[in-house]
Amino acid sequence: MIRTIADSIVESLLNAGVKRIYGIIGDSLNALLDAIRRSGKIEWIHVRHEEVAAFAAGADATLSGGIAVCAGSSGPGNLHLINGLYDCHRNRVPVLAIAAHIPSSEIGSGFFQETRPDMLFQECSFFCEVVTGPKQMPRAVTMAMQTATARSGVSVLVLPGDVAAFEYDESPVPERVIHSTRPNVCPSTDELKTLADYLNKGKRITLLCGAGCAGAHASLMKLCEKLQSPMVIALRGKEYLEYDNPYSVGLTGLIGYSSGYHAMMECDVLLMLGTDFPYRQFYPQEATILQVDLDSSRLGRRTTLAYGVCGDVKTTVEMLLPLLKEPHSPDHLQHFAAHYAKVREELDNLADPGRAPIHPQFLMKVISDLADEDAVLTCDVGTPTVWAARYLSMNGERRLIGSFNHGTMANAMPQAIGAQVAQPGRQVISLSGDGGLTMLLGDLLTLRQHKLPIKIVVFNNGALGFVELEMKAAGFLEFGTELDNPNFAVLAQAMGIEGIRVEDPNDLESAVRRALEHSGPVVLDVVVNRQELAMPPKINFEQARGFTMWMLKAVLNGQGNEIIELAKTNLLR
């Protein structure tokens, strides 16, 4: 049989360890899909929307540690990939997207379904090139995969449908396609000494730690002990640092704790480690700020630094520890540890059964208590992320995946698909908002078709809850946020999926147990309180004024009952 460019691509993928591709077939992908079929070694994960394919590939890469692949047909098909690819790229996970294209002879003619994928994907990739003929192979696909792996991001291979079917008799595909290396990067001796000098002079040192601290838990505990420093954790660092950590004072930012906020604001030295925390208003104005990051382009881009160094967090901290000679008073640490204990107690008190409608905090706590010790949890943007940040307990084995940089809706269920496919023996739970779930609702069918035992927990508050909160804080009457939802349990049952609905808090724990123990996919539809406030750690004047304006407008527009419900929910527990 004649060997084609598509065969060369499949062979390259196999040699790179690729086991599956997420996508939707279209005629421009025919040659590639036929090559996949004939190989019999790569699974085609058929989804119902290409955006889901990209999200799933990102979660797959996150858990597997290797490159994951998604594909879309020409024009609209690969355009649907773009939002998910933005999320993958900003999460810094290695993903190869194969964007099929119109026939090469028609490019530039305004042909049916014509777009310019070579331009469209430039902003969400490190590599985006068009395959025009066999002489580029296998180098084009190996360059794409090597770039995605080396730079931890997205590569896009644009493949016209006719080119994929071209006969290929060029260079053989190398047995080793990807050369993956993770060197230990450490600042120079002089840089370490300068960093140590700043820390030795500090009296009230606080650490701000993010996802770049993965693998450095033990070293960071030693650093906190040496400096007597509280540790503030950025959201993406939660899964790596929150557990077994007597120095943690919680998160900061819009979904953080007052203890984390004040531990940063009242320090005289802030040491940023492996974080690109974006919210400038949460950085101290008077403190000396230091930063360690593996990507030197991030140094100083969020706040003004006194000093920044490029280095792997674990390696840098281990080299830094012997240089820290000065003793530090425990007062700063003890003060904010006590503050955090008080805040934690107050937050836990909010996670009580209460009365109907169910408090979302209570739902998240029950999930945290009952989920497997090594569960993978994905969370939608908005209030599910708030409650996950505050009430999910991490232990070093659990994983938490979300759209924490790109901030898109509808990520949780698709990411759960990729997580479950990548690790079929692991419990996977999607913490879905009602708005996020319904945006890509059709891919519930993917769970059934591929027999994925994912547990979808729907935080059903009948609204785009976080958007409503933002409108209130800005002084606007909520408008355009209400969701007229179906009974998601009944909807799931119509799709051939187990569906459970809970409205009474007394039924919640047994319903969660039932869902988690079910052998197949489940949609657990939990009606939660729409009026629950997810307040930031500090309310500024503009937010206070905004809430006041919202209440005045609500009364004047005949919505005073909403203020009463808000008070009942948040004050009269």
Residues forming the annotated binding site for Mg(2+)? 434, 461
**Cα torsion 389, 395, 401, 405: sign:** positive
In angstroms, the CA 113 to CA 79 distance is 10
If residue 501 lies in a helix (H) or strand (E), which one and from where to where?
A: strand 498-502
466 by DSSP, 3-state: which?
A: helix
Please confirm, yes or no, whether 502 is among the known catalytic residues.
Answer: no
Any catalytic annotation for residue 476? no
Q: How far, in Å, CA of 14 to CA of 9, rounded?
A: 9
Contact 128, 101 (CB under 8 A): no
Q: How many Å apart are CA 264 and CA 537, to the nearest integer? A: 12
Q: Which residues contact 345 (CB under 8 A, 6 or more apart)?
A: none
Tell me which of 466, 468, 528, 532 is the catalytic residue.
Answer: 466
Contacts of 140 (CB under 8 A, 6+ apart): 129, 131, 157
Peptide bond into 327 cis (omega under 30): no
Residue 433 parent element (H or E): strand 428-433
Q: List residues forming the annotated binding site for FAD.
A: 252-255, 275-279, 293
- Cis, peptide link before residue 414, omega less than 30° from 0: no
Specify the DSSP element, H or E, that contains 23. Answer: strand 20-23
Annotated catalytic residue 112 = yes
**Tokens for 569?**
């929910």
Element spanning 429, H or E:
strand 428-433
What letter would DSSP give residue 392? Answer: P
CA distance 261 to 240: 20
Radius of gyration of the chain (CA): 25
Closest by Cα among 52, 165, 179, 151 to 100: 165
The SS3 assignment for 15 reads helix
Strand duo 231-233 + 248-251: pairing: parallel
41: Cβ contacts below 8 Å, ≥ 6 apart: 14, 19
Contact 256, 233 (CB under 8 A): no
Question: Whole-angstrom Cα distance, residue 369 to residue 390?
Answer: 13
What distance in Å separates the CA atoms of residue 567 and residue 221, rounded to the nearest whole number? 41
CB atoms under 10 Å from CB of 62, counted, come to: 23
Is the bond leading into 134 cis (omega within 30 degrees of zero)? Answer: no
Summarize the annotated binding site for thiamine diphosphate as residue ranges: 50, 407-409, 434-436, 461-467
Cβ-contact 92, 214 below 8 angstroms? no
Question: Which positions make up the binding site?
Answer: 50, 252-255, 275-279, 293, 407-409, 434-436, 461-467
Catalytic residue among 50, 191, 468, 498: 50
Burial of 107 (0-12, 13-18, 19+ CB in 10 A): middle
Give me the DSSP letters along 300-332: TSSS--SEEEE--HHHHHHHHGGG--S---SHH
Q: Taking a C-beta distance cutoff of 8 angstroms, is the pair 376, 429 a contact? A: yes
- Catalytic option among 10, 52, 113, 146: 113
**Residues that are catalytic:** 50, 112-113, 381, 466
